Amino acid sequence: MNDDQLLRYSRHILLDDIGVEGQQRLLDSHALVIGAGGLGSPVALYLGTAGVGRITLVDHDTVDVTNLQRQIAHSLARVGRPKAESARETIAAINPDVQVRAVTQRADAAWLADAVAQADVVLDCSDNFQTRHAVNAACVAARKPLVSGAAIGFDGQISVYDSRQADAPCYACLFPPESTFEEVRCATMGVFAPLVGIIGSMQAAEALKLLAGVGSSLAGRLQMLDARRMEWTEIRLPRQPACPVCAGH
């Protein structure tokens, strides 16, 4: 690290659990962020400000005025612009040293297979089960840790799915691909603005811990938030021996 970096990241370096070595690990890391919307905004900003050296942001959507109620990486001046590019500009305005690649396409299985393999951690900030299952399958195949979050209405959830751990479940252990779940979208159900900030910030925290080698992750635990009461509930998640995705890995 140079003098400017030592100053910029001094508050991390002062933490015994991170220090110079942990911060250097962040600088040498590559995070893949799926989605640059409500969850992806705080995720991308905190990863960028914390000094994750390379960030790949993928989102096929463009900024809409209805996004600005909660998607803090964007601005009114960028309405109509690709979300991934908008978030990249916001990160650059805070920390220009971070290399951010903006990908303006859908994260399909073919693209994910290559992109996930190149990342050190993957953060799923998408809003549909099809993408979540595709991201999970790619992470299991490449043995990459997945930090997954979701938020709708006043309810949020977060967990880490880390196939590197023999007893840790994957996303499909909890939500089997063959099951039918009702898709709920912000456009029809609404979402409490700070909720995505809470869940997204926690996703960033879990990713930074994984990259820096700090503490223990949420692998094997699902945390659910009822923001009406600001009450957390946690359940333990075992790996399913018959899971069609992670069994045998």
Residue with tokens 């590197």: 164
Average of per-residue pLDDT across 9-21: 96
Q: What was the pLDDT predicted at 185?
A: 63
Domain annotation for the chain: domains and CATH numbers: 3-236 (3.40.50.720)
Looking at the chain, the whole-number percentage of residues with pLDDT higher than 90 is 90
Q: What was the pLDDT predicted at 187?
A: 63
Residue 31 has pLDDT above 80, yes or no: yes
Q: What was the pLDDT predicted at 134?
A: 96
CA dihedral (184, 185, 187, 193) positive or negative: positive
Average of per-residue pLDDT across 122-138: 95
Q: What was the pLDDT predicted at 216?
A: 95
State the catalytic residues.
Answer: 186
Q: List pLDDT tens digits, range 211-249.
A: 999 999 999 999 999 999 999 999 999 999 999 999 877
Mean pLDDT, the chain, rounded, equals: 94
Q: What was the pLDDT predicted at 189?
A: 79
Q: What was the pLDDT predicted at 248?
A: 73
| Beta-bridge mates of residue 58 | 34, 103
Q: List pLDDT tens digits, range 157-198.
A: 999 999 999 899 999 999 998 876 666 666 667 899 999 999
Cα 10 from Cα 186, distance rounded (Å)? 38
Query: What's the CA angle centered on 117, arms 179 and 92, to 5 degrees?
Result: 105
Q: List pLDDT tens digits, range 35-57.
A: 999 999 999 999 999 999 999 99
CA dihedral (231, 123, 8, 85) positive or negative: negative
pTM of full prediction above 0.85: yes
Q: Up-side HSE of residue 50: CA atoms within 13 Å toward CB?
A: 29
* 105-109, 119-123, 147-151: least confidently modelled range: 105-109
Q: Which two tokens stand for residue 46?
A: 């905190």
